[in-house]
Structure 1
Amino acid sequence: MNWVCKPYLDKFVIVFIDDILRYSKDEKEHEEHLMAILELLKEKELYAKFSKREIWIPKVQFLGHVIDSQGIHVDPAKIKSVKDWASPKSPTKIRQILGLAGYYRRFIEVFSKISKPMTKLTQKKVKNEWGDKQEAAFQLLKQKLCVHQFWLYLKEAKILSYISMLRTKGWELC
């Protein structure tokens, strides 16, 4: 889908596999963007399934994030259990926690510095001793994830549109 939407990527479109996220400043621009995308899809013989399309919405959940006119946020549903996490004691558990936290690293300032004491315990030939440094890093990561702070912004995006596309060559999939 990236090659199809290439002319509009990072201008007013974000694509992930067969999902298209469209963002606009106002209703007029939103309508223009919608028409441009629909024309492009028609040209390439791609069809949107109406039951999967959402347009004229102020907020959308997309790839584990919530996107609205204020910017990109951590999806609260994805991290609601974070505050109840117990301290990980094994390298496997540490990797699992660092994996989720790493997905949201863009929301955590100096993520690699904070997570370093935990990351060291996942390396081979390092004795697995959970200490005060690791516990402090773990608690700080949990705190940062639960704050839902955001600092990624879509340029003046006010209206969002999310279209899930199916390459059906005209056939409606059930």
Structure 2
Amino acid sequence: MDSDKVEAIRDWEVPTKVPELRSFLGLANYYRRFILGYSDIAAPLTDLLKKNHAWEWNSSCQGAFENLKAAIIKEPVLALPDFTKLFEVQTDASDFAIGGVLMQEGHPITFESRKLNDAERRYTVHEKEMTTIVHYLRTWRHYLLGAYFIVKTDNVATSYFQSQKKLSPKQARWQDFLAEFDYSLEYKPGKANVVADALSRKAVLAALLSTTSCGVLDTIKEGMEHDPVAKQLLDLARKGKT
């Protein structure tokens, strides 16, 4: 198995709080029909989501987490490409990262996520979504070129170029690149776009964890400045009360 295809899942960081666990389980649950005994495997993790259940990441949780990651990146979940079948690209863009999965008939073929660079983070919402689509079509070009496929996104990117009175050089390059492919864009609500959404969130977390210690708080504040819980935690951290 090509390690690049599964790196985004294999290197998923251990969840440290409920929202991170929900994101991971959202992805895992999407493929539960392919994972034998999914409910039993995931039980220690789903227990952590129960109301009034204290967060305690123990060895059972760690084992369940590792077992689910292993199940997602092996057969029968992960599939080899079949060029006689329709490809589907699912993408998601957040303020700080992008995520994508290439699929056929509900089975993932390859996963990928990355953080946005400084210039990309200043893009508009539509530009971030188009950046994401262009990135994954370029990444998986060897699968997609010459075949009809579907791109599913949780943003209304289908009318992006039509809404521009005049294209910038960047937008013109995107349009020229996309013209090489035979595809349709379909809107997929964020709640249904769980795999790509989880991958983009995972990339945000990875970016935070890989930041040098002197810049961690600045990165967190920038990404979560509108989150009152995060603000409270930062205040406690500064006072040495965590």
TM interval, short-chain normalised: 0.3 to 0.5
Bigger proportion of residues as strand: 1
Give the structure with higher Rg (CA). 1
Bigger proportion of residues as helix: 2
Give the number of the structure with larger relative contact order, counting CA–CA contacts within 8 Å between residues 6 or more apart.
Answer: 1
